[in-house]
Structure formats: C-alpha cells, structure tokens
Amino acid sequence: MIRHTPVGIDSDKAVVIAREFFKQGFTPFEIVNTVLQNGTWLVKGHVISFGLQSDRILAIDSKTGKIVDVE
C-alpha cells in the first residue's frame, strides 16, 4: 500500500515565510502565534511602524505557502 504524504507546509515553514515578509517592512518585529485554521496558517506578529506597536496577522495558504492576506 502506498501512502501519500499531504503536500503543504508546516508551522515552522509558515513562520519562516512570515519572518521574510515582516522583515521587509517592519523592524523590529516578533512572531507571537501561529495557528492553522481552515487550511490557512495565521501567523500573528507584533510590529513597530512609525514608532507605534501594532499586531499584524499574515494568512498563508497551507498547501502552497503563498501569502493570501495581511491584516
């Protein structure tokens, strides 16, 4: 019997993608939470923008690893 491993990314890979994204526009930043919900990784980060701290949530497709939304 051949078992197929599901194609996709795990939480560690989602964090790597989020770090690459956040470091392009926010310094400093901190990844604080990663949750898989309905086939989408939601990676929450605390970021500093114009001297103000805020939270951003990056939505990453768990199958393709593509960023699908930023809140």
Q: Is residue 2 part of a domain?
A: no
Q: Is residue 41 part of a domain?
A: yes
Task: Determine the pLDDT at residue 19.
Answer: 94
Query: What CATH number did the domain enclosing 64 receive?
Result: 3.10.450
pLDDT band at 7, cuts 50/70/90?
Answer: low
Mean predicted lDDT score pLDDT of the chain: 88
- Whether residue 3 has pLDDT greater than 50: no
Q: What percent of the chain has pLDDT over 70?
A: 90
Q: What is the pLDDT of residues 44-70, one digit of tens each?
A: 999 988 888 899 999 999 999 999 999
Helix (H, G, I), strand (E, B) or coil at 22: helix
CA distance 27 to 67: 20
Residue 23 CB-half CA count within 13 A? 6
Domain tally, the chain: 1
Q: Is residue 4 part of a domain?
A: no
CA distance 33 to 46: 10
Domain membership of residue 35 as a residue range: 11-70
Q: Is residue 38 part of a domain?
A: yes
Give CA 24 to chain center in angstroms: 14
Task: Determine the pLDDT at residue 50.
Answer: 82
Question: Token pair 């951003």 is at which residue?
Answer: 56
